Amino acid sequence: MSRTETNSAETTRIIGATLEFHGAAGEVTGSCTLVRTPKARIVIDFGMFQGSPADEARNAVAPEIDFALVDAVVVTHAHIDHCGRLAMLPNLGFRGKIYATTATHELLGRVLRSSAKLQRARFYERASGSAPWGRALMPGEVAGPAPEFPPAQRLFDTPDVRDTMDKVEGVPLDREVKIAPHVALTFRNAGHTPGAASAELSIGVGADRRVLYFTGDLGADREGHVSLLAAPHRPANADVIVVESTNGERQRGQLPDPDETLAEIVAEAARKRLKVLAPVFALGRAQLLVHRLARLHAKGLLHGLNVYVDSPMAVYGIESLYKHPEYLAPDLRDSVRAGGAPLWFPELHYVLSKRESMAIDRMVHGGIILAGSGFMDAGPMLRHLEESLDREDCMVLLGGYQPEDGFGKRMQRGADRAQFTGGKVVPIRASTSRVDGLSGHAYQDDLVRWFSRLDHKPARVILNHGTDAARATLAGRLSNELGLACTAPKPLEELSV
Which residues are at the interface with Zn ion (CB under 5 A)?
79, 217
Distance in Å, CB of 169 to Zn ion, minimum: 21
Q: Which residue lies nearer to Zn ion by CB, 107 or 212?
A: 107
Q: How far is the CB of 379 from Zn ion (least distance, A)?
A: 18
- Cα maximum dimension of the chain: 85
Angle between helices 258-272 and 285-298 (to 10 degrees): 70
- Residue 4, Cβ density class (10 Å: 0-12 exposed, 13-18 middle, ≥19 buried): exposed
**DSSP-H helix ranges across 128-247:** 158-165
- Kindly report the number of other CB atoms within 10 A of residue 217's CB atom: 27
Cβ proximity to Zn ion: between 134 and 400 the closer is 400
Residue 72: CB minimum distance to Zn ion, A: 21
Report the residue number, 83 or 348, with the smaller CB distance to Zn ion.
83
Shortest CB 417 distance to Zn ion, Å: 34
φ, ψ of residue 55 to 5 degrees: the values are -65, -45
Whole-number minimum distance, CB 380 to Zn ion, in Å?
21
Residue closer to Zn ion by CB (options 72, 75) is 75
- Cβ contacts of 435 within 8 Å, gap of 6 or more: 258, 261, 262, 265, 289, 292, 397, 398, 399
Quote the DSSP letter at residue 204: S
For Zn ion, the closer of residues 79 and 250 by Cβ is 79
Minimum distance from residue 326 beta carbon to Zn ion (Å) = 18
Give residue 155's identity as a one-letter amino acid code.
L
- State phi, psi for 123 to the nearest 5 degrees: -60, -50
- If the CB atoms of residues 79 and 410 are measured against Zn ion, the closer one turns out to be 79
Least distance (Å) between residue 217 CB and Zn ion:
4
From CA 233, how far away is CA 344, in angstroms rounded?
27
Residue 427 near residue 416 (C-beta atoms within 8 A): yes
Our CB check for Zn ion shows the closer of 134 and 194 to be 194
Question: Could you give the CA distance from residue 323 to residue 317 in angstroms, rounded to a whole number?
Answer: 10
Nearest approach, Cβ of 190 to Zn ion (angstroms)? 9
Spatial contact of 16 and 496, defined as CB atoms under 8 Å apart:
yes
Residue 112: HSE in the Cβ half-sphere, 13 Å Cα cutoff: 31
Distance of alpha carbon 435 from the chain centroid? 19
Ramachandran quadrant class, 167 (left: phi over 0; alpha: psi -120 to 50; beta: rest): alpha
Residue closer to Zn ion by CB (options 29, 59) is 29
User: Closest CB to Zn ion among 367 and 374?
Assistant: 374
CB 413: neighbour CB atoms within 10 A?
Answer: 12
Nearer to Zn ion, 296 or 318 (CB): 318
Q: How far apart are CA 3 and CA 384, in angstroms?
A: 72
CB of 193 to Zn ion, least distance (A): 6
- What are the two backbone dihedrals, phi and then psi, of residue 114, each rounded to the nearest 5 degrees? -70, -35
Q: How far is the CB of 302 from Zn ion (least distance, A)?
A: 29
DSSP run (H or E) holding 103:
helix 102-127
Rounded to a whole number of angstroms, the minimum distance from the CB of residue 282 to Zn ion is: 12
Handedness of CA 6, 8, 9, 13 (dihedral sign): positive
Q: Which is nearer to Zn ion, 96 or 372 (CB)?
A: 372
